C-alpha cells in the first residue's frame, strides 16, 4: 500500500541532487493534496512550469484554500510566464495571510508587468514585516534601480549583502549597484571578491567583463584576454553536430537577444530586422527575455518565425535553434546574457556572428565573425582585440531610427542664453576622473559656459540628491562653480529629446562612448565631441559622427578632445549653421538609411555562408 507523501522529503532529495530518487519516491506515494504539492515542487525544480501549474492547481482543488499553496501556484504561474494569473493567485494568498514571502513574490510579479512603483511598495511592506528578510531588500534594490533612485539603491544593496553574509550573489548585486552609481573601481573590486567567492559563476564573470570595458586602465589586449578566460573557465566544449551542407537560395537568419523589448536598443536593432528582404531571407527571432511589451510586438512583426526561449534550458535552446536549421545565427546580446554564451560555444548554426551591441569581443572560439566598419575597426592592429574575424560593412554597421515623436530641432540655445551649454548625456557608469578633468578644463576655458548633466536617474531632479552633490564636488575641484552645472533626470522620450536639444555641444564619454545617446544628440542638431580610443566601445560614436561628415569632431587624445570642444564653442555662427542642417545630413547619411546598410549586411551573410560551405 502506498504511504502518505510529505513535501519536505521531496525538497530534501532535490537539494541533495537526487532527482531520479525523487521521481521514484513520488511513484510510491498515494494521491492526496500533499502528494500534488510535492509533485508540483518536483516539476518546478525541473522547470517544467506547465506540469507544475497543473499539479499545484490539483492540490488546491483537493482541500480548503491555503495561503502557502496559493503562493506556490503563483510561483508556478510566474515560471510559466503567466504573470497576470500569477498576480491573482498571490492576491488570494495575501488575502488569507499577509506574509513577507508572498509580498516579495507579488513584487516580483509586478516587476514582470513593468509596474515598478507598485513592486517597490510590496517589497517595502515585506521588509517592514520582516526586517531580516534578505529577499525583501533585494527587491527594494531592484525597484530603486528601475525607478531611477540610485541614491536609495546603494544602501539596500549593502544591507542585502550583510543579510546574505556576503555570499557571491549578494556581492554581485552590490557590485552592480556600485557600477550604476559611478563607483567603477569600487565595483570592480567587489566583482573580483564575488568571483573569488564563487569562481564557477559565469554570470558574475560576465558582469565583471562589462564593467571592465569602462575601465581606462584596460587595453584592447587585456580585454580580449579577459573574455577568452571566460570561455576557458565556463564554456563547454563544442559537441559534434552535422549542419545542413550548403546554403539555401532563401537563407535562414536567426537573431538571438534579450533586447526584443522596450530599451535604447530599439532604435538601432529593430530597423535592421524591419529592413530585411523577406523574399530572400527568413528571419528567426529568439526572444531571451521573460516578459513582452509593445516593442516586443514590433519585433515579432519584423520576424518570419518567433521563438520564446527565456525559460528554456541550455539544451532546449540549442535544440530549438538546430531544429530550425539556420544558415547564420546573429548574437545581439553578448555577455549581457551569459547563459547564451554557453549555448553558442556548443554551436547552434554553421555560421555564428556577433552584432556588437555588447561592444567587445565575445571571447568565444566558436563565433566566426564580428560585424564592424572602417571607423570602429580601422586597421589590422584594431582587429587584434577580437577573437572573431572582423567583417566590415562598407556603409557602417550601426543604424539609427529616431523616435517617431521626436520634436523639431530648435535654434542654437546659445543665441537665447548668451552662453554655450555643453551636454553630458551618458549613464553615470561611463563617468571617470579623466572625463571630469576634461570637462572641467573645457568649462574653465569657455567663459560663462554651462554643463547640462542629463541621464535616466530621478535623483538628478532632486535638489539635495547625493548624485548632484557628488558631481558638483568633483567639478568644484576643477574650478567650476555649482551655478554653472544644470541637471535633468529621467524623462519620457519626447521630453528627453527636448532636454538634449538644450545643449549646444555634447561631450562624449570615454573609454565607453555613446551609442543611442549619440544618435539622439545628432538628430536634435547637437554635434558630439568624441575621443576615439583603441577599443571597440571607445569608437562607436566616432563611426556615427564621421559618417555624417563630422570627422573634425573626433579626437585622438584627451588633450585634443579638450581643444576641439573649446574651439568649436568659440564660433557660434558655425555652430548655428551646423545645427540648422545636421538633421538633414543625418537623415541622408547611411546612419539613418537602414535599407542601404541591410542590403550590404545581407551580401555579407551570403558571403559568410558561402565561405562556410566551401570550408566543408
- Tens digits of per-residue pLDDT, 264-284? 999 999 999 999 999 999 999
- Other CB atoms within a 10 A radius of the CB of residue 536 amount to 25
Give the mean pLDDT of 329-340: 96
Q: Distance of CA 60 to CAs 37, 40, 66, 74, 350, Å?
A: 9, 11, 8, 12, 48
pLDDT tens sequence across 41-78:
777 777 777 787 777 788 777 776 678 877 877 876 77
When pLDDT is cut at 50, 70 and 90, the band that residue 8 belongs to is low
Q: What is the mean pLDDT of residues 281-288?
A: 97
Share of the chain above pLDDT 70, in %: 96
Give the model confidence (pLDDT) of 223-244 as tens digits.
999 999 999 999 888 777 888 8
Instruction: Tell me which of 465-474, 513-522, 561-570 is least confident.
Output: 465-474
- The backbone region for 505, taken as left when phi is positive above 0, alpha when psi lies in -120 to 50, beta otherwise, is beta
The answer to whether 595 and 271 have CB atoms below 8 angstroms apart is no
Q: Tell me, what DSSP letter sits at residue 453? A: E
Model confidence pLDDT, tens digit, residues 513-547: 999 999 999 999 999 999 999 999 999 999 999 99
The span from the CA of 264 to the CA of 143, in Å, is: 19
Asked whether the beta carbons of 108 and 92 are under 8 A apart, the reply is no
Does residue 79 register a pLDDT over 90? no
- Local structure of residue 16 (DSSP, 8 states): T
Is residue 220 within 8 A of residue 386, CB to CB? The reply is no
Distance CA 479, CA 378 (A): 37
CA–CA separation, 481 and 485 (whole Å): 7
pTM of the model: 0.88
Q: Residue 5 has what pLDDT?
A: 46
* CB-count exposure of residue 483 (10 Å: 0-12, 13-18, 19+): exposed
Helix, strand, or coil (residue 420): coil
- Reported as a single tens digit per residue, the pLDDT across 373-429 is 999 999 999 999 999 999 999 999 999 999 998 999 999 999 999 999 999 999 999
Give the full edge-to-edge strand order of the sheet including 305-308: 305-308, 281-287, 251-257, 328-331, 351-354, 369-372, 389-392
pLDDT tens, position by position, 345-372:
999 999 999 999 999 999 999 999 999 9
Which one, of 311, 505, 508, 330, lies nearest residue 417 by Cα? 505
Q: Is the peptide bond before 187 cis (omega within 30 degrees of 0)?
A: no
Q: Which helix (H) or strand (E) holds 319?
A: helix 314-323
Phi, psi of 528 (to 5 degrees): -120, 125
pLDDT value at residue 1? 34
At 133-175, the pLDDT tens digits run 999 999 999 999 999 888 899 999 999 999 999 999 999 999 9
pLDDT reported for residue 603: 97
The chain-wide mean pLDDT, for the chain, equals 92
Separation between Cα atoms, residue 5 and residue 37, nearest integer Å: 9
- pLDDT for 496 equals 96
Of the candidates 309, 297, 210, 291, which has an alpha carbon nearest to the alpha carbon of residue 255? 309
Q: Which pLDDT score, from 0 to 100, does residue 48 have?
A: 77
b vs e for 280-314, b when ≥16 Cβ sit within 10 Å of the residue's Cβ?
Answer: ebbbbbbbbbbebeebbebbeebbeebbbbbebee
Query: Which residues neighbour 230 within 8 Å (Cβ) at sequence distance 6 or greater?
Result: 202, 205, 206, 209, 335, 341, 363
Q: Let me know: does 342 contact 234? Beta carbons within 8 Å.
A: yes
Amino acid at each position: 500500500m502506498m504511504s502518505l507523501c510529505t513535501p519536505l522529503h521531496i525538497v530534501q532529495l532535490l537539494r541533495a541532487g537526487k532527482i531520479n530518487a525523487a521521481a521514484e519516491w513520488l511513484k510510491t506515494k498515494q494521491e492526496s493534496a500533499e502528494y500534488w504539492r510535492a509533485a508540483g515542487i518536483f516539476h518546478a525544480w525541473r522547470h517544467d512550469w506547465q506540469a507544475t501549474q497543473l499539479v499545484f492547481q490539483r492540490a488546491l482543488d483537493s482541500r480548503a484554500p491555503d495561503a502557502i499553496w496559493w503562493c506556490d501556484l503563483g510561483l508556478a504561474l510566474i515560471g510559466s510566464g503567466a504573470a497576470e494569473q500569477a498576480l491573482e493567485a498571490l492576491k488570494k494568498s495575501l488575502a488569507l495571510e499577509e506574509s513577507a514571502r508572498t509580498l516579495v513574490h507579488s513584487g516580483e510579479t509586478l516587476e514582470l508587468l513593468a509596474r515598478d512603483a507598485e513592486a517597490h511598495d510590496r517589497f517595502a511592506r515585506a521588509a517592514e514585516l520582516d526586517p531580516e528578510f534578505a529577499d525583501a531588500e533585494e527587491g527594494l534594490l531592484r525597484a530603486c534601480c528601475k525607478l531611477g533612485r540610485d541614491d536609495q539603491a546603494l544602501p539596500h544593496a549593502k544591507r542585502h549583502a550583510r543579510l546574505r553574509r556576503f555570499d557571491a550573489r549578494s556581492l554581485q548585486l552590490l557590485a552592480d549597484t556600485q557600477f550604476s552609481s559611478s563607483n567603477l573601481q569600487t565595483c570592480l573590486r567587489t566583482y573580483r571578491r564575488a568571483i573569488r567567492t564563487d569562481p564557477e559563476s559565469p554570470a558574475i564573470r560576465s558582469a565583471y567583463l562589462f564593467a571592465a570595458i569602462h575601465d581606462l586602465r584596460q587595453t584592447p589586449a587585456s580585454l580580449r584576454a579577459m573574455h577568452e578566460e571566460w570561455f576557458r573557465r565556463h564554456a563547454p566544449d563544442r559537441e559534434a553536430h552535422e549542419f545542413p551542407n550548403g546554403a539555401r537560395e532563401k537563407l535562414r537568419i536567426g537573431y538571438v537577444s534579450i533586447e526584443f523589448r522596450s530599451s535604447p536598443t530599439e532604435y538601432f536593432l529593430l530597423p535592421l530586422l524591419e529592413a530585411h528582404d523577406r523574399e530572400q531571407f527568413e528571419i528567426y527571432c529568439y526572444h531571451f527575455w521573460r516578459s513582452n511589451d509593445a516593442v516586443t510586438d514590433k519585433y515579432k512583426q519584423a520576424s518570419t518565425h518567433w521563438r520564446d526561449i527565456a525559460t528554456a534550458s541550455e539544451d532546449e535552446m540549442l535544440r530549438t535553434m538546430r531544429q530550425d536549421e539556420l544558415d547564420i545565427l546573429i548574437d545581439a546580446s553578448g555577455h549581457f546574457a551569459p547563459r547564451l554564451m554557453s549555448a553558442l560555444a556548443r554551436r547552434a548554426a554553421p555560421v555564428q556572428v556577433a552584432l556588437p551591441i555588447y561592444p567587445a569581443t565575445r571571447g568565444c572560439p566558436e563565433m566566426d565573425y564580428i560585424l564592424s566598419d572602417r571607423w570602429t575597426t580601422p586597421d589590422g592592429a584594431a582587429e587584434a582585440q577580437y577573437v572573431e574575424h572582423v567583417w566590415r560593412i562598407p556603409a557602417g554597421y550601426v543604424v539609427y531610427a529616431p523616435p517617431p515623436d521626436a520634436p523639431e530641432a530648435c535654434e542654437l540655445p546659445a543665441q537665447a542664453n548668451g552662453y554655450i551649454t555643453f551636454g553630458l548625456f551618458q549613464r553615470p557608469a561611463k563617468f571617470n576622473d579623466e572625463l571630469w578633468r576634461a570637462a572641467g578644463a573645457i568649462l574653465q576655458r569657455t567663459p560663462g559656459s554651462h554643463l547640462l548633466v542629463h541621464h535616466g536617474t530621478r535623483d538628478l531632479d532632486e535638489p539635495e540628491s547625493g548624485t548632484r552633490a557628488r558631481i558638483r564636488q568633483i567639478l568644484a575641484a576643477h574650478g567650476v562653480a555649482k551655478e554653472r552645472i544644470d541637471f535633468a533626470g529621467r524623462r519620457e522620450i519626447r521630453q528627453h529629446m527636448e532636454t538634449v536639444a538644450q545643449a549646444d555641444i555634447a561631450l562624449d564619454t570615454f573609454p565607453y562612448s555613446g551609442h543611442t545617446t549619440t544618435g539622439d544628440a545628432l538628430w536634435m542638431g547637437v554635434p558630439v565631441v568624441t575621443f576615439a580610443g583603441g577599443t571597440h566601445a571607445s569608437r562607436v560614436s566616432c563611426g556615427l559622427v564621421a559618417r555624417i561628415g563630422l570627422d573634425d569632431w573626433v579626437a585622438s587624445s584627451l588633450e585634443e578632445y579638450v581643444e576641439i570642444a573649446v574651439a568649436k564653442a568659440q564660433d557660434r555662427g558655425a555652430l548655428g549653421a551646423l545645427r540648422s542642417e545636421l538633421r538633414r545630413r543625418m537623415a541622408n547619411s547611411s546612419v539613418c538609411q537602414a535599407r542601404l546598410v541591410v542590403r550590404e549586411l545581407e551580401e555579407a551573410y551570403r558571403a559568410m555562408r558561402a565561405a562556410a560551405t566551401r570550408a566543408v
